[in-house]
Amino acid sequence: MSPADRSWRYARRGRAPRSRARRYAEYALTLAMLLALLAVVTRLERLQTRTLGGHAIVNDGDSLTLDGERIRLRGIDAPEYLQTCTRAGRDYPCGREARQALQTALGAGKLACQGWERDKFDRLLAVCTAGAVDLNRRQVENGWAVSYGDYLDAERQARAARRGVWAGEFERPRDWRQRHGHAGEAEHGAMGAMMNWLRQLVVW
């Protein structure tokens, strides 16, 4: 059958013959879709909840390193390590005291941190416990961190009792970071979680 006859036959059936280039393009598109699906599955695996335990190095009042994993305590914001506050008319290193408070709280029992979300700095946002003590809540209750998307009730209690930084005057850590040119981060609420979730899906 001649090429003209084949074209006439396909035309009668309402379709044109597929060229070799078109077939290759369809194969390439199929392969691209499979690779994209594999990438999404790989990213979703990273979103699974992780539970870590072991010896921790406390970095500051709301972050630590556990088994090589950088962890940010979710829902709270502690003074930065170099931040100072005012108490009884004098400046004091509230950032260092917040770090010491977290270090002391670790002695309450076996440490475990659980979370799935990562912030823009690739730190795991987690709730950490030492024995039966919720370290995130403990830092806020004792006045060494403020609410950052969670634990607002604990902040109110600390403020009323004038514990920790509430015993004097202080700048909220987020404002201190902004004033000193440090990169900001979204609060750990629903909107922040959505942004982090999308970032984890699309960023390698």
Lowest mean pLDDT among 59-63, 86-90, 196-200: 196-200
- DSSP state letters, 4-39: HHHHHHHHHTT--PPPHHHHHHHHHHHHHHHHHHHH
pLDDT value, residue 22: 79
Q: What is the pLDDT of residues 93-114, one digit of tens each?
A: 999 999 999 999 999 889 999 9
Q: What's the DSSP call for residue 163?
A: -
Kindly state whether residue 19 falls inside one of the protein's structural domains. no
Q: How many structural domains are present in the chain?
A: 1
* CB contact set of 199 (below 8 Å; sequence gap of 6+): 118, 120
Greater confidence (203 vs 153) lies with: 153
CA triplet 171, 173, 175: central angle to 5 degrees? 70
Kindly state whether residue 192 falls inside one of the protein's structural domains. yes
Distance CA 158, CA 152 (A): 10
The residue with tokens 């870590």 is: 52
* Mean of the per-residue pLDDT values of the chain: 83
Tell me: pLDDT of 10 over 50.
Answer: no
Kindly state whether residue 168 falls inside one of the protein's structural domains. yes
- Which of 131, 138, 130, 171 has its CA nearest to residue 154? 138
Kindly state whether residue 92 falls inside one of the protein's structural domains. yes
Kindly state whether residue 172 falls inside one of the protein's structural domains. yes
Kindly state whether residue 41 falls inside one of the protein's structural domains. no
Residues spanned by the domain of 183: 56-202
Kindly state whether residue 71 falls inside one of the protein's structural domains. yes
Q: What is the pLDDT of residues 150-178, one digit of tens each?
A: 999 999 999 999 999 999 999 999 999 99
Count Cβ atoms within 10 A of the Cβ of residue 59 and give its class: 0-12 exposed, 13-18 middle, 19 or more buried: middle
pLDDT value, residue 196: 58
- What are the helix (H) ranges across 79-166? 94-105, 135-141, 152-161
- DSSP state letters, 182-193: PPP---SSHHHH
**CATH number (domain holding residue 157):** 2.40.50.90
Kindly state whether residue 24 falls inside one of the protein's structural domains. no
Q: What is the pLDDT of residues 18-53, one digit of tens each?
A: 677 777 777 767 766 655 554 444 444 455 788 999
